[in-house]
Amino acid sequence: MLPVAVDAMGGDNAPAEIVTGARRAASELGIPVVLVGRSAEFGDTGGLEVIEASEVIAMDAEPGTSVRRMRDSSLVRAAGAVREGRASAMVSAGNTGAAMASALLRLGRIRGISRPAIAIPVPVPHSTHTTLLDAGANAECRPEWLVEFAQMGCIYARDRFKIERPRVGLLSIGEEAGKGNKFVKDCFELLDRPAWAASSGAEWIGNVEGRDVMTDDVDVVVTDGFTGNVTLKTLEGAMSALLGRLLSAIDTDAQSRRAGELLAGPLDSMVAELHPDSTGGALLLGVKGVCVISHGSSGADAMTNAVRVAAEMVEVKMVEHLLAAAHQQ
């Protein structure tokens, strides 16, 4: 396999944690990695291959302008490496908008897909992740795009989580067909037609609600990028608030601290299962290449997972499946 191109300069903890995570992916998982960025700042790379890039797109930079102007940025170079056949996939914990723009610029959009979408795997206790998309690529959507999101989400759920016939739901505020705002009702009408589900091998289950996302009742949840991003961040906030509250509960007094020690193992498993760092980041679906976008706060573990997921998606030929499905339409 060609190496996974890691944007070593992207994210709040770049480059140190990013390089550490990439090194671990190489040494522990045997995944070939190429680091992209200012190698002088990398520290010990453990002998990983490097692609030099002199510029860094800041986390809060305007994506379109930055990507157009900073052709020697680590992000644009990482995407370029995939385009030029030097890398099999790109991974970045940097500016999300700039990562999308770089991927669009260098990898290009799959013909038949109107807009790429960000797919997020949401952890579900004791079960397979639920795929949520669009989690923020398109703040404004047209109803027909959600049908494309549904189709891409099915391919992703099948390739990543081995779900043969993914159950697809539309995020709304009631389960009945008539619930939601006008946009959602228009989406429902399109998604309720049997053709797309038949050709995607999906099971269309109609509207789902926010409370269904973290359950085993649905595999793929489609929504516009605004609602999806609010949902994602609400989940992250709830997770963080509850885990924080739990930590204080096991630090109430000597007795609770003793109990906390006894529980260390099960609680660690719980956090590992639910923490965003374990999911390996978001995938940008709809571009001609594997593009993993990790949380800006990613540490080394999150980065190792992101590289692992990128490599898995290359091996399982997800992009080829997306291309084949789009060309069928």
Residues of the shown chain interacting with its own copies in the complex, contacts defined by CB under 8 A:
60, 124-126, 136, 139-140, 171-173, 176, 179-182, 184, 209-215, 224-227, 229-246, 248-250, 252, 255-256, 258-260, 262-263, 265-267, 269-270, 273-274
Nearer Cβ to its own copies (50/239): 239
Nearer Cβ to its own copies (270/316): 270
Nearer Cβ to its own copies (151/223): 223
Nearer Cβ to its own copies (264/324): 264
> From the CB of residue 154, how many other CB atoms can be counted at a distance below 10 Å?
28
**DSSP code at position 173:** S
Contact 200, 154 (CB under 8 A): yes
Residue 231 CB, shortest distance to its own copies, in Å, is: 5
Nearer Cβ to its own copies (155/232): 232
Half-sphere exposure of 288 (CA within 13 A, CB side): 17
Q: Nearest Cα to 196, choosing from 217, 222, 173?
A: 222
Nearer Cβ to its own copies (173/198): 173
Return d(Cα 245, Cα 237) in angstroms, integer. 12
Residue 186 CB, shortest distance to its own copies, in Å, is: 12
Nearer Cβ to its own copies (82/171): 171
Return d(Cα 29, Cα 303) in angstroms, integer. 12
Tokens of 108: 């290009």
DSSP assignment of 95-159: -HHHHHHHHHHHT-BPTT-SS-EEEEEEP-TTSPPEEEE-SSS-SS--HHHHHHHHHHHHHHHHH
Nearer Cβ to its own copies (275/321): 275
Contacts of 191 (CB under 8 A, 6+ apart): 146, 147, 150, 168, 170, 204, 222
Residue 245 CB, shortest distance to its own copies, in Å, is: 4
Residue 129 CB, shortest distance to its own copies, in Å, is: 12
Half-sphere exposure of 134 (CA within 13 A, CB side): 24
Residue 66 CB, shortest distance to its own copies, in Å, is: 15
Return d(Cα 229, Cα 314) in angstroms, integer. 26
Nearer Cβ to its own copies (194/265): 265
Tokens of 281: 């980041």
Helix (H, G, I), strand (E, B) or coil at 183: helix
Residue 253 CB, shortest distance to its own copies, in Å, is: 8
Tokens of 174: 């009631």
Return d(Cα 246, Cα 256) in angstroms, integer. 11
